[in-house]
């Protein structure tokens, strides 16, 4: 049987206690020395990459929802402006318009700018 003191002496050597090198640097297995390299393992890197991917997915889904809500808010605002313009027209003229002016897909066309009820 090998005594613990003999094992320690074999692993560390005959160095004075204050000059003992770290055990990891002196540990011998067979004829090769095992030295712990500083750095990250592949598993640690893969876990970090997976966590970053999950967080990115969650944030992107949230940003897509924000853009949709912003578009919906703009549409609601446009409809309220049209409603207000029609109500102003009715209060001035006494009735709603029978037809809307030909705006040709743009509220900034010359036919639409003659009206004072809708601000382009």
Q: Based on the fold, state whether residues 52 and 110 are members of the same structural domain.
A: yes
Q: How far is CA 73 from the centre of its chain?
A: 23
pTM for the model stands at 0.41
- Residue (of 118, 117, 116) closest to 107 by Cα position: 118
Q: What's the confidence (pLDDT) of residue 79?
A: 94
Whether 34 and 70 share a structural domain: no
Q: Are strands 32-33 and 28-29 parallel, antiparallel or unpaired?
A: antiparallel
Question: Taking 80 as the threshold, does the pLDDT of residue 41 lie above it?
Answer: yes
Look up the domain containing 2 and give its range: 1-38
Total domains, the chain: 2
Which tokens sit at 14?
């005959």
Per-residue pLDDT, 7: 57
């Amino acid at each position: 049987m090998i005594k613990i003191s003999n094992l320690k002496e074999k692993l560390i050597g005959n160095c004075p206690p204050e000059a003992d090198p770290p055990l990891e640097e002196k540990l011998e297995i067979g004829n090769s020395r095992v030295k712990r390299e500083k750095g990250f393992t592949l598993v640690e890197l893969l876990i970090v990459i997976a966590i970053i991917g999950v967080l990115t997915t969650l944030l992107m889904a949230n940003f897509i929802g924000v853009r949709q809500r912003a578009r919906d808010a703009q549409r609601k605002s446009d409809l309220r402006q049209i409603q207000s313009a029609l109500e102003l027209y009715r209060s001035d003229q006494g009735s709603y318009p029978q037809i809307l002016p030909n705006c040709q897909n743009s509220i900034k066309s010359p036919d639409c700018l003659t009206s004072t009820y809708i601000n382009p």
